Structures are given as structure tokens and as C-alpha cells.
Structure 1
């Protein structure tokens, strides 16, 4: 499907598949051509009703305005309005009223959003769900960060995020689970249980965590409500010290944990977050200056508004969300200059078709947001994203009614993290309320692995943009030569120093092994180009460091920082093992990838370990660093390589598709949303083991 084309919104799928595919529509159309008119009408009616037989769209909407065990000064006003707005938006998208469950205080007919009721509702929703279904898990209210020693997986900053249910009771003991809170690890477990059943999950969290976490009772407590009564702004996100521990006549039982489910790749998953984990998000009267404005969560209001443009993919929906933020953020920045304002975040398979149970993407090429400035378009992508000067692009303009106008153009000025081009003449007269984006027509030749062979390339090569594999003729420059030796197997011979091994060859068993090897080498070539870009930056990220450690048992034998660019180190001795220690004290979060290639040429994913998970590494400071150690047992022999890439997470910026993962990712892993993003810097380093002589040089 070409970019900008709309997938069918409500068409039945082939048997055994989720709905939203075009194959079924073509089959029905061909059958109708040979049928009488009344049969045609009958088939059309069945086609319209068929999606309900094949898949169901369900939603759980949770809004917590009142914390009944806490001071009323900590209560919110908007969550009850948020669930009503989301319900109306879902009904317009085709959800059935009976398939939307609402837990909210102050909403007629809704159950109270207490912790046990939330888990019970999730359990019922899971029991109803079948493969091919679609589920929205929506939460609006307060969040906090809590030092939870009962959680097996600890975050880099040591804290766990919690959604505060209506009956939250505050601290009960030291490092305990939060009574009346729904933990991030439990949300993850529920999502995984749905995914294991073949359900597509969209999660929306119009909540946040506290701006900082402290056990110091004397620490300054931020005001929850600010501004005049007729235009009050409330901030979602409480510190642990603000929560009051209330003795209960009957101890609050811990809700049942989500069922243990087999972990599957998050191909059927998308999540929207109102802010990063250390930020808070506002609720205020929206739309601003509107006659019928009422308190709403900013993310919820933006999601409902963006749905009106009829987006085709989750990325288009999120880009529409970000487009609604700037006027509100600008106003809040003037009213509250000392507050850090929120950066919306999204993760998952963002290029999947909207409201469909599909693991595939509408397009495997990136979509870069753009902003118009006079007769120019400024792209939030550059050399580090694989964009090349004079590269052919498809420029897309989305109007308020969802209509998409597309024109081909070429990138002109391109630097490390940005690019610009003239607004195509055919689009210059469009009105101001337009969402702009651009997408490459193909991977750039400069990043491709060039293969010389006597036949076509092996089928099924799958790579993340901008890495690719292309066949070249006998007279063209090539990175390697592939020879099919028949019964003797397959031979690859390195021809280019771009792979770091000119003149080296290897023998492989079959074409499938050749395909896997070509994919690995194509990624390696792109990593080297990223390292070259990183070498040209001064002080890439102040406060970020990646240190390689060599351990012998419990003793640290030696360690050293990974410098930007490439490096060779001494091979490990007997009994030694390698580990990577990453520390972030920069004061802001970073987007990071840690990957590698083992001595057998197989790709290895360390961070993120799943292509649908976030690659956001949390904010840390010198006083409270965010740190994580990666054990690397595969980085033990000559030929293995380790690659680390990081860039500051600019607030409210466009997608960053570095193509640095070791397998095709489900679109970009983190998308953020700032009208004037700061200049980004790139940390890129690759390490390989070498001989003692090579390391000494």
C-alpha cells in the first residue's frame, strides 16, 4: 500500500486473521460482478456486519478523580471528563457501547475505580478476548514513582511507576508495594497476557509520575493546583511523601497478579504516554477559550482531536496528537516558567493500521515529521537517520478532514539531525492547519551493502531502514562477492574495507545462511557509518558513559570507557567475562541501543531486548544516576562486536529511526513530541576484540 492510501476501515479478514486487510475486499468485489443485484446487496450487508463475527473491539476506561484516603487538595477534576470524551471518540470509531467498560468516580453507571475493581475488570476483559480482537486499556489520573523492593526487575533509577487507584493508602512499610496502586510490572503482565492470545493492545496513560522521588519528608512538595479558580491547572503526579498512610479496619488485600503468559514479540501493541516517567502532565480547561471548555487531561483531549483527522496508522494519530500540543505548551510555559512541561511518548508498532488486529506495518519506511516555515519544510531527521542530500522523498500534507495530498520532492540541506527542502509548488497554497511529513521512497544507496553475484539475491531479506542489500554488476564497486558453489555450498568474499576485512572469505551451507549473513553485514556497514558520524561530534553527551568491564569471577580485572568511533581491545583470558555498564547523569533521558554480533556472525539484542519495547533510558543526575549493567557472555571471542548508540531525548521531537537494531523493528520504538528542539548530539561506538598486536596499535 502506497503511503497516504487509507486501509479499509471495516472490512472482514480472511479466515483466521485479524480484520483490516484488503485481500477480502478484492475477493468479494469479483464475486459481486457475476451476481444479480439482490444477491449483491445481501453480500454487501453481510460484509458490513462481518467484522463483528471475526473480531471485537473492546475498551476499559479508568478515570480516578478522587483519592478517598488522601487530602482533597490532591484530588483531580478531569479524569471523569476524560473517560466520557474517550467513550464518545470510540463510539464514533465504531466501538459498540456494550463493549466499553468504564470505571470512574462521578460518572453515572460506572463502577468505582478501586484497585481490586481494576484488576477484576482486566481479568474479565482478558477472559472475553480472543485471537483477532482489539483492546484499548485507558487510564486517567495520578501517578507516582515508588521504591518497590518486591519488584523483580528494577528500573535504572531504582524506582517503579504506579497508577493510583481510588483507594490508594500510601506508605505502609519501607520498600514495599504501594497499597492501592497498580504497578507498572502488573500493567506489563496484563498486556503480555492479551498479546499471548493474539489480541492487539492499545494502551493510553494520561497520567504521570512525580518529578522526583525522595523519602525526605522535608523536601519541597509541589502544588497540585495552580491558577485562578475559573482557569485552574492541576498537575498529575504525586511524590511518595505526599501520600498519607491511612490505617484500614480491614487490611487491603493485594490484588491478584496478572496471569503468567508466554512472552511474545510486541507486534500487536501500541502505547501512548502523557509524559516521561520523571515528568508531570496537566489537566486544564480545554479547548482553550472554548465556550464549552471543561477540565480535561491534555493527552486525552489531543487524542480525541487527532482521531477526527481519520489517521491511517498509529504514527499518524500520534503525530496529530503532537500537533495539538504547541499552543497549550506555550501558554503553560509562560504561566509556569519553573515547571518542566511534559513530552508525550509513544512506543510499539506505530506503523500498523489503526484499530486493526495486524502485526504488519502499512509501510516499512520511516515517516519523518516536518514543520513549515514560509516556503520551506524543516524535517526532524538527518544523516543519523539515514537521510542523504538530494534523496527522493514523498512529502505528505494531511488536511483537517483527513485528506492527504502527496508530492515527490528532494531533500536539499541535510546535517546530522535535521534537513530542509522547499515546499513543493503543488502544496504551497494549502491552508495553515496542515500536518506535514516526509518519507523516503527507498533506502539510500550510500548505506546499502553492495553484493556482486552471478544470480539474484536470496529472497526474504528483511532490514531496518536505512540498511539494505543491493546487487551490483561486474564493473560497479562492491563490498563483497557471493558465489554459489553448488553442492560445495556458498562462498562470500570481502572486497571492501568498509566491512573491516578486505580479502577475507568464508564458506556457508545454503542460501538461507547467506541471507542471514548479508543482513548482519548490512547492519554492520550502517553501524560503521553511524560511528563515523559520532566521531565528528565534540563531547557527544555530557554525563553519559558506557564502560566495558572485564571480570574474573567476582573481581573486576580491568575496565575502560567506550570512546566514540571504533576500538579494538585485548581478547579475554581464560575465566574472564565481559559486561557493559551504562550510566546516565546528564539530567535528561536518552534514546539508546545496545546491540552486537557474536563470533559466529549472529546478531545480538541487549537494549531493547524486544523490538516492540522502549529504547528510552531513564533520566539520571550526578546525585541520583540511572545505571544498568549488561552481562555479555557472547562477547568473548575474536570476531564479536559490540555497538552502543545514544542520543539526548529532545522533548517533543519527531521520530528517530536510527536503524540500529539487530532485527527489523516494529517502526520506531520511541516517538516524542518541542516546537524548537535543541541540537541533538550522537554517541556511537563499536568495539571488537583483536589480537594483542592489533590492540597495541
Structure 2
């Protein structure tokens, strides 16, 4: 890192700290070990240990003991984690919270999936995720709220209530079926205890239809979350122990440690990763991911028939740790790297915006939190991966270090080339690798992508010179703000076109995408998406709907981006709520499917881009530079370790 860049990073960190001066850091830690209305064989051992481990980790991070509330069974002085009491604790925490504060909402225990007819929105599986409180009971039938279960929609409502008060929220769910716990195939297994008594492994998942109804006359369901206005989730991060269809274990950790005790795997990994003093949520999550492989490999050998968890993160991962500031410490992607001798390998390549011989910054994070960095140049590059040498200045770094790599600059090859007689406007914002460069003086206009002319009081004219950006004589932006928005949109549109080209004609087994035409509640026709196509015009009363379907047996990293007729980018999947782009696993017997309404997809100039690839286990979601909401830095998450080198991919760009 250059001295100028180092000063910039330090300045941003200081500004973030100043923003939070005088603000409070609070936490609610919920652990449910005992389900008093259920057989003891379904109880867990670790949640009471988890909340105390998290409490200890937070105290080391500077949290005051009086600002950490524990609601857990088996913990001296703590309230019992019944559904009503959990909601009451959330309500008290919300009342205490003020603008600029930071809160952690942490939950450890059983999760399940349950069909809930009262949900406000539909997920691919049509199910609701539930965190099981101590007093959970079964219910007759397959719809409605699960008594004693805290629904995903309720968690989502609580998160929204804190965000509406300008509070930064970090949510952690060390449960099964976790990845949809704030969004809300085969349900979690009822088998929860396996292994010898001195090394039990318990899986945190129960099929909801196997829950006993419990004693008659039990208390009514807990209240729902308070209503709150929707705000952008720039002050939000969440860590989930597993994808929606997976179970997560608790076992003695650290493995073979003298003081090992039952812990949730995610909780233990978070506490361990915090000791490296990460600067951002991304660094913390990467540290968590680095601790999973040895444990998962051991469990795979013991339980070869069970799908083991891959943690998921979403939100503003580039924001500073335990602060309230929404601005990221960096706007370029950071990829975890794996060292092998004198080489570093990353699972990011041409599809992520890398180019041959690109200069990168290599960062080594040591166990004590010390960081060392140096520059290096990509040595090998393919569509899905790259390699580069370990810089000479870092060759003595010990094997316990965690490695990461980030580009030093956006590649000129993908930049939007603007022909103009004046400097570019200030305040432009992009997701890597999109950028803008002025065409050189004297360069032929046909080699630029567009021409910008300042019309003075009449606005700014943009003339499209590249057919890839569209057709027409040009557009007029009324003011500098509109000009910036149009230029940013065209820069991202150029990268989407490049991404579609780089993906080539590859196909993804088990993935289907179709553009449907509907009138009211009747589907008139369905056309499978091709790599490049132009559907016919809509008639009066018709609308377009995108349907995607995953039957390939693996989760997917998927991005869907729209461009309206005015050139504005529209986030489709993930949407603007800050959710992860991990699309859940489906099979031929139990497909994962979802419909997306596209009301703006009409008229000349509108476009739709779809890209999907198999998700790598134990990786962060991968968005391939297709983020479209500058308020949400999570749209800069990129690929991580574990993906196969030869990677299937589906890509399609639809023109209207």
C-alpha cells in the first residue's frame, strides 16, 4: 500500500471513529439450550456456552458489561429465553438505542423451516425460517405461526426498526436454516446427537412437524416486531451459520484443545477471528471462513451422508468494525488468497474484472493483528481464477497468516471512454471494475463509447457512440447530478456487456431462466433466456415476469440487473435491501424457483442481465462487479476460495 493510500484508509477510520464518539455499543445475546416442551433428546448443550464466549469476545472489543444483555438458560442471572421475553428484550434495546449507536443481535440455538401463510413475501422454497425459543410448541397443520418460534419476518422487522433509528445492526445467527432468518427443500433432520459422549456432535435443526404440541393452556404467541419505515441497509451486516437448507453443528472446540467445550462452530470461529483485530466486517468474515475447512473436513469423514454448513454473510461488509459509519473503508474488492510455497491463488478471474499482468496489493494478516502488505503482478489468469507470486517482502510471513489480494486500480480495458472538452464531473461512484476515462485528445470519436457536451443552462448532452450502450441520437441530463447518474449507469452497463461476452456460451446444469408474459393472473407465453435475445413488444395489459429455477443440486451465486429505458440500473437480485445473492440449492424433486416482477422492463432501450454460477463452499457470495446500489457496499463482495477451476456459468443479456 502506498503512503497516500495508507493515509486515506487511516483518515477514513478516524472519521468513522469520530462519527461514533459518544455513541453506545450494545448487544443482546440469546442462547436456547433447553426446549422445555420437547423431548430432552432434542436439547442442545452449547448455546449457554456460546453466549458467554460472545460476551467475553465483546468485552475484549471494548463493550461495557452493562451494555451486554444475556437471555439464556443455564446462565446465572440471565432471563430465560422464552419467546415473549426475547421480544421484550429486543423492545428494551430498541428503546435505549439512539442515532449513531451500534447493536449486536445474536442468537444461538435450534432453527427450523415452517410453512407460514402470514408471510409478507415469498421465498424460493415458500417456507419461513424460525428460531426456536425455550417454550416452542408444535402446531396442528402446515400453516400459520409456530408457537414459541421467532419468525424470519419478525427478525427482519426488528432489524428494520433499529435501522430506522440510524443504528448500525450486526446480526449473528448460529442456527440451522440460518441464511434466510432475516428474509423470510428438505427440512432439517431430527437427528441432533451423534458421536461418542466425550465428543458429541449435535446438529441445530429440527423438522417442525416433529415438534410436540406441548402442555395445554400455554401462553399465546409472542408479539410481532414494531412497524418501521423502510430505509436503505447501509448500516447492516449479518453472519449466518448455514445456508437455508443446511444444518450447522455444535461440538467441542477448539478441536483437541485441553479446555475444549461444546460450542457452535460459527460462534467459536467469530470469537477466534476477532483476536486478529480485523478492520472491516469482510476481514472478520474471511477470518471465520479460514477456520472452517479443518473442522468441516473432519466432520465430512465422520458423517459422509450429511451436507455440512457453508456460512453466509450479507450487508455492508466493507464498513469499519463495531462502528456506525456507513462509508466503506475501501471500494475495491478484496479476495481471500491461499498460499502454496511462493505462489498465491485466488478464486477470482476475468469474470470478476481482472486483466492479464494486473498490479495487485497483497496483504498478510498475522495472528496478533499485525498487517504487512506489498505489491505483486498477476502471473496467471483464467475466467474463474488467478495466481500471483508472493512478494519478496512477504516471503518470511509465517504459515498462520491469512492472505488477501485487492486490485490497485480499475482496469482501463473495461472503462467507459468519454469524449469531452472538459474534466469529468466530481462525485462519480462505481462498483469495481466499472470506471470512466476521458478519451485522449485527438482520438477519433468512433473509438470512444460516448460524447459529453456541456450545454450550459440547457443541461448536458450525451451522444452514444458505441452500439453496446444502445441506439439513438442521444440524451440530455438536466443537471450535474443527473449527468453523474447517467455516466455511472453507462459505465456499469459497459461492464455488464463485457461480462456477458466473457461468460461466452457456457451453460449451467440444472439452471433455467425464462421470460414470461402475463395478463392479470394468466401466463400467455414463456420464452427461455438465450445469451442474447430481443423479445417482441408487449400488448396492452401485458407485463413481463422473469422466472428462475435451480435443480442442479448446489446453491448458486446469482445476479440479475435491469436497465430501464432511461438508462437507470435496477437491482433485481439481490434487491436493494442488502440481502446476499446466494440462491438456494434445488433438486429435480424439490426445485428452488422464484419469480421477479419487472414493471419497468418495457420500451426501447430496456435491458435485462442474468448471471449465475455454482456457489463455492465456505465462500462469500460472488457478484462479479454487477452491484448497482452505491449505498450498499455488500454489492462489492467477490469470489473466495473453494470453487472448482473449471466453473459452469449461465449468462444472458436481453435487449428490448
For normalisation by structure 2, the TM-score amounts to 0.94
1:533 aligns with 2:499: no
Which of residues 465, 468, 481 is equivalent to 2:432? 465
Q: Is the 8 A contact 1:326 1:674 kept in 2?
A: no
Q: Is the 8 A contact 1:82 1:297 kept in 2?
A: yes
Which of residues 214, 226, 235 is equivalent to 1:246? 214
Between the aligned partners of 1:577 and 1:116, the Cα distance in structure 2 is 44
1:196-223 Cα offsets, whole Å, 9 max, x none, are: 0011101111111399546xxxxx9552
Q: Which moved more, 1:624-633 or 1:652-661?
A: 652-661
Deviation at 1:643, TM superposition (A): 1.4
Look up the match of 2:461.
491
Which of residues 555, 562, 569 is equivalent to 2:529? 562
1:290-309 Cα offsets, whole Å, 9 max, x none, are: 11111111111110000100
Between the aligned partners of 2:624 and 2:24, the Cα distance in structure 1 is 35
Which of residues 398, 405, 415 is equivalent to 2:372? 405
Which of residues 658, 661, 681 is equivalent to 2:624? 658
Between the aligned partners of 1:309 and 1:83, the Cα distance in structure 2 is 20
Q: Is the 8 A contact 1:381 1:656 kept in 2?
A: no
Deviation at 1:4, TM superposition (A): 10
Which of residues 285, 288, 298 is equivalent to 2:252? 285
Q: Is the 8 A contact 1:145 1:213 kept in 2?
A: no
1:631 aligns with 2:601: no
What secondary structure is seen at the aligned counterpart in 2 of 1:557?
Answer: strand
Over the aligned positions, Cα root-mean-square deviation in angstroms equals 2.2
| Matching of residues 156-555 of structure 1 within 5 Å | 156-209=124-177, 212-213=185-186, 222-248=190-216, 250-476=217-443, 477-501=447-471, 504-537=473-506, 539=507, 541-555=508-522
Between the aligned partners of 1:317 and 1:356, the Cα distance in structure 2 is 14
What secondary structure is seen at the aligned counterpart in 1 of 2:514?
Answer: strand
What secondary structure is seen at the aligned counterpart in 2 of 1:638?
Answer: coil
Question: Unmatched 5+ residue regions in structure 2?
Answer: 180-184
Look up the match of 2:90.
122
Look up the match of 2:182.
none
Q: Which moved more, 1:481-490 or 1:387-396?
A: 481-490
1:19-72 Cα offsets, whole Å, 9 max, x none, are: 514xx8xxxxxxxxxxxxxxxxxxxxxxxxx94xx2111100011111111111
Between the aligned partners of 1:672 and 1:367, the Cα distance in structure 2 is 9
Deviation at 1:9, TM superposition (A): 12
What secondary structure is seen at the aligned counterpart in 1 of 2:495?
Answer: helix
1:324-374 Cα offsets, whole Å, 9 max, x none, are: 111111111111111111101111000000111111000011101100011
What secondary structure is seen at the aligned counterpart in 1 of 2:410?
Answer: coil
Look up the match of 1:693.
none
Deviation at 1:450, TM superposition (A): 0.5
Between the aligned partners of 1:169 and 1:678, the Cα distance in structure 2 is 46
What secondary structure is seen at the aligned counterpart in 2 of 1:102?
Answer: strand
Look up the match of 1:582.
548
Deviation at 1:670, TM superposition (A): 6.3
1:117-159 Cα offsets, whole Å, 9 max, x none, are: 1000000000000001110011111100111112121211111
What secondary structure is seen at the aligned counterpart in 1 of 2:604?
Answer: coil
Between the aligned partners of 1:244 and 1:236, the Cα distance in structure 2 is 17
Deviation at 1:600, TM superposition (A): 2.0
Change (3 A) 1:668 1:485: closer
Between the aligned partners of 1:399 and 1:458, the Cα distance in structure 2 is 41
Change (3 A) 1:670 1:363: closer
For normalisation by structure 1, the TM-score amounts to 0.88
Deviation at 1:677, TM superposition (A): 4.7
Greater radius of gyration (CA): 1
Change (3 A) 1:221 1:549: closer
1:514-558 Cα offsets, whole Å, 9 max, x none, are: 222111111111111111122242x2x211111111123444332
Look up the match of 1:20.
17
1:112 aligns with 2:89: no
Q: Is the 8 A contact 2:625 2:636 kept in 1?
A: no
Q: Is the 8 A contact 1:344 1:673 kept in 2?
A: no
Q: Is the 8 A contact 2:452 2:461 kept in 1?
A: yes
Q: Is the 8 A contact 1:343 1:673 kept in 2?
A: no
1:78 aligns with 2:46: yes
Change (3 A) 1:580 1:676: closer
Change (3 A) 1:520 1:675: closer
Look up the match of 1:694.
none
Between the aligned partners of 1:138 and 1:400, the Cα distance in structure 2 is 25
What secondary structure is seen at the aligned counterpart in 1 of 2:299?
Answer: helix
Q: Is the 8 A contact 1:351 1:363 kept in 2?
A: yes
Between the aligned partners of 1:108 and 1:509, the Cα distance in structure 2 is 64
Deviation at 1:474, TM superposition (A): 2.3
Which of residues 563, 571, 594 is equivalent to 1:597? 563
Deviation at 1:111, TM superposition (A): 0.8
Residue-pair matches, total = 644
